[in-house]
């Protein structure tokens, strides 16, 4: 894995990494720079964040483990007075969580949307379930 190196330490490395994290979650450059106020670091502009993205955005921060299959299960949970369905997908070899989804309904469309998001992120794999019946068929072509 590549080591991220800083020539000058004007900004602590954890602040740079946190700003990259916020940006790749979907915040704008200006919102990301404003979020650094929490660290009493209001000197960093959106241009600084842009420079960090250009420099470190292509670095592989973690190594993705190989996905062999999807194990998908759903359960009903209660949040306040409302009931929701919690969908989870686990990789069977290293027991890592690949995806979590919360929905108000349990039907074919919700199942297909969840599986489609997994296929988009990890590619096509065999899907294992507990045999629960979801009305209709699910296809991910």
pLDDT given for residue 1 in this prediction: 42
Confidence of residue 79 (pLDDT cuts 50, 70, 90): confident
- Taking residues 118-127, report their average pLDDT: 90
Instruction: At 27, give phi and psi (nearest 5°).
Output: -70, 150
pLDDT given for residue 137 in this prediction: 42
Percent of residues in the chain assigned helix, strand, coil, to nearest 5: 35, 20, 45
pLDDT given for residue 85 in this prediction: 92
pLDDT greater than 50 at residue 43: yes
Average predicted confidence (pLDDT) for the chain: 79
Cα 14 to the chain's mean position, in Å? 20
State which of 5-14, 20-29, 35-44 shows the largest mean pLDDT: 20-29
**Which token pair is 79?**
């949040």
pLDDT given for residue 9 in this prediction: 63
pLDDT given for residue 64 in this prediction: 56
**Which token pair is 33?**
């720079």
């Amino acid at each position: 894995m590549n080591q991220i190196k800083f020539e000058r330490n004007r900004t602590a490395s954890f602040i740079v990494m946190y700003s990259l994290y916020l940006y790749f979650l979907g915040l704008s450059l200006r919102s990301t720079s404003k979020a650094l106020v929490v660290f009493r670091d209001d000197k960093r502009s959106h241009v600084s964040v842009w420079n960090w993205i250009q420099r470190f955005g292509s670095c592989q921060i973690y190594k993705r483990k190989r996905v062999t299959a999807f194990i998908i299960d759903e359960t009903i949970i209660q949040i306040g007075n409302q009931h929701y369905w919690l969908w989870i997908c686990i990789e069977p070899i290293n027991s890592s969580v690949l995806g979590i989804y919360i929905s108000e309904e349990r039907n074919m469309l919700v199942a297909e949307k969840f599986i489609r998001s997994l296929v988009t992120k990890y590619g096509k794999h065999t899907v294992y379930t507990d045999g629960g019946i979801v009305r209709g068929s699910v296809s991910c072509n």
